[in-house]
Structure 1
Amino acid sequence: MPIELYQFAISHYSEKVRWALDLKSIAHEPKYLLPGMHVRTIRGLTGQKVTSVPVLVDSGHVIQGSAAILDHLEEISPDPALLPADSKARGDALAWEKRLDDEAGPAVRTFAYHHLLQRPKLVAPLLAAKTPFWNAYLIRLAFSRVEETMREMMRINEKTAAKAQSVVEDLLDEIGDIYRSGRYLAGDSFSRADLTAGALFAPLFMPEQYPVPWPKPQRLPQAMAQWRQDNRERLEPVADCYREHR
């Protein structure tokens, strides 16, 4: 049976796994889901109440969560390695990955959705990307409820978005200092720490490799467009690493 990856196209945690699969040249079948409508599918796979994506299914073995999935991929396809051989560098890579998963991922999501949810015509195609075309129309028809649910579930509001922006900027500054010194986040080679940074910050620099129809910069909400312009230098080191290795 082929490996299956259940995911949202827009999910930056899913992008983390897509990238790892591509780097390791692991053949897989993508299963794109519509946020909200995915619940029954994920619960059917995992048997758990938690319905987060990505979920990888390999020969009946179900793995939920990007970090656990990367662990599994390292086991079944060690080359190229995404963890350094040196024990200290290995520990650093895993520590960076956990920090980014815990801090950068939620902060980027909160900041980006706070602004994008203000534009139903922009965000509906992003949420429905890679699913049947009519899903984008359904999201727009029910958008007031969609927005209310997303903001409530992810605790997205002016206050949390402002805090998320600060977290994003501080992390980008720290990572940028490391990259500008010519180093990787852990050890002397690209690792899953760098992969995690690139994937989780990708919705802010909107790379072409990402499987969603990013809006043109001029169509973004003004505050988000202005932030991207003001923080271009902050984003560039992470974006460069993404482009080089993705």
Structure 2
Amino acid sequence: MSLILSVALVLAVLVDATVGTVRTRRALAAVDAVPANRSRFYRRFIVIGWVRAVLATLVVFSAGLSLTDIGLAGPGSGPTAGAPDGGTLGWLAAGVLVLSTGIGAVRARRSMRAGQIHPQRVKIAALIPRTTGERWHAAALSITAGVTEEIFFRGALIALGITVFHLPVPAAAALSLVLFAAMHAYQGRLGVLNSGFVGLLFTILTLLSGSLFPAIVMHIAVDLFALLVVPAEATPRPPDIPEQPAVVPADPPPPTEKDQQTAPTLRPPAPAG
């Protein structure tokens, strides 16, 4: 039974990566047309994320595994035991990666405020919040994605790949990474590559520490930086106005004798009465 459910789970992700891509792009187009749909878009993805994580957890339970077995505990509790001192190394690596990601986000913000256009940012501009209410929804989405996607991809899929499909750890990790990247196909080819690279970092943190928590923290931070720090669009630069040469007024011609004769004589005002 656990094998059937595990296969169904993988197939559901593949279907979601294809059909869901078209659906997500349509939803983003609807947000472009009616910006009020943006908060609804966030809420929808929050619900989908938690439903996906719950279903994956139920499949994990059907395979005789526990939450500890998928990494929702301290170091060494995940699908693999992690490296020696993996917990310390995992948290240290997560801290460095979060710091470097934050620095990169601030630099991207400055460059876009200076008018530089990032083509990849343009593709997901509709996803970026504009108002205070949308920013709160985006923060909730970032936390949801960080928790639920790590439970699903780095926790459940790797554990099921090892336990149910009897795959070696590298193969199970590679399968989860490919599915994770495919889920971001709505961002285009470059978005898939970026998601695959970041997902690889999440996978390394999980296998290194034997826990999902370092990857969860980094995942949340990456999404928060992407949605709340980097602006949606570049600030347009003011048009270049060519400098006009300074015009020096010409000296007036000297008065002629006729002008001096016809010029009125100014007298100081006299007191009235």
TM-score (norm 1): 0.28
Q: Give the structure with the higher percent strand.
A: 1
Relative contact order, CA 8 A, sep 6+: which one is greater?
2
Rg larger in 1 or in 2?
A: 2
Higher helix share: 2
